[in-house]
Homo-oligomer: A and B are copies of this chain.
Amino acid sequence: MRNIYNFSAGPAMLPDAVLAQAAAEMQDYNGTGQSVLELSHRSADWQDVMDEAELRLRRLMRIPAHYTVLFLQGGASAQFAMVPLNLMRNGKADYLITGLWAKKAYREAMRYGAARVICSSEAQQFTCIPEWNVDLFDPAADYVHLCMNNTIYGTMFHTLPDTGSIPLVADISSCILSQPMDVSRFGLLYAGAQKNMGPAGVTVVIVRSDLLERVRPDCPTLFRYRTHADHGSMYNTPPCYAIYVMLLVLRWLEDTVGGLESMAARNRAKAQLLYDYLDESALFRGTAAIRDRSWMNVPFITGDAETDARFLREASDAGLVNLAGHRTVGGMRASLYNAMPVAGIQRLTECMADFERRYA
């Protein structure tokens, strides 16, 4: 039982059991007399970590055999360049703009060819997922890109565009492993680990293997998916410790939580608790369009910046930390990733109710 609940958008909470095991194994991993931090990446003990991490990720997400799983560095921001460098063979890609990160991905792609905006909710301050018209997709596009869950604005794609034979590429940094998803609908998925999967420092890429051949000649060796695919993500030294902690999280998800269906039920219940409170509150209100609400990130405001600031101070004093909204939007944001227990959200809604009684 914790005294502090960390609602950060990432790096974020990790399961208590994961932290306990990481602490216990820090000075001697698996009887090797070495710390995980010291293990040679060419040792058998380390290869076992890599293999089990990939196996469990494949099993949890039901990743089909014709997809390649990569553990890379650089975060989702590196993928903004790596996706076009590896896939934009014909110099065309279509982007759905649902927030700051989607826009950054789009802008980076413009450096490599004709990236197009298919739809955008910028005029609505990204409070909703925009409508799209499938006829707008260019059949000759190398891919269609979207950001599945928008961390800053608390929106999520609950249905996906049908892109036909055009590969669909998605940034799933803030929703990976939060619920089952049909990987076969995508050409490529990528996610920084530091929200739902582990600590900062490792990025997962799941790519349909035939797409590895599309790499552009101007792509640096280390930024080619093919380079890493050919070497089991160990062309060079991988970010070992981040991968090890990710493995502990994957074990927790599979063996303790019981897989993504169970995780999804927990996450739905957690988000519902907070949304129900927001929908009845006379003081606080959610900012995202109801039909597009994210289960992972819940932004809310009182409508008055000073009251927001007062609430944030009180919440922090009560052990509910990192509730401030992204610096570009202000207000509050509660990130409810997998490791956030329901008790944390109960404490949050109690704190909100108490504040509301005094200030509404």
Copies held by the complex: 2
Pair A23/B27 contact, Cβ less than 8 Å: yes
- A1-50 CB contacts (< 8 Å) to partner B: 2-4, 6, 8-14, 16, 19-20, 22-24, 26-27, 32-35, 37-43
20 additional A-B residue pairs with CB within 8 Å, beyond A220-B223, A242-B242 = A8-B43, A10-B40, A12-B40, A13-B34, A13-B38, A19-B26, A19-B37, A26-B26, A38-B199, A73-B78, A73-B239, A77-B235, A78-B222, A80-B221, A81-B223, A108-B220, A111-B218, A194-B240, A201-B241, A239-B239
Q: Which of the listed residues A41, A73, A192 has the most CB atoms from chain B within 10 Å of its own CB?
A: A73
On whether A39 and B23 interact (CB within 8 A), knowing A32-B4, A200-B237, A220-B108, the answer reads no
Dominant SS among interface residues on chain A: loop
On whether A8 and B40 interact (CB within 8 A), knowing A2-B33, A199-B240, A221-B108, the answer reads yes
Pair B13/A200 contact, Cβ less than 8 Å: no
Pair A19/B32 contact, Cβ less than 8 Å: no
Q: Closest B residue to A74 by CB, please name it.
A: B73
List residues of chain A with CB under 8 Å of any chain B CB.
2-4, 6, 8-14, 16, 19-20, 22-24, 26-27, 32-35, 37-43, 73-78, 80-81, 85, 108, 111, 192, 194, 198-202, 218, 220-223, 235-242, 245, 319, 321-322
Pair A22/B37 contact, Cβ less than 8 Å: yes
Pair A33/B77 contact, Cβ less than 8 Å: no
Q: Closest B residue to A198 by CB, please name it.
A: B37
Distance in angstroms from A176 CB to nearest chain B CB is: 15
Pair A6/B240 contact, Cβ less than 8 Å: no
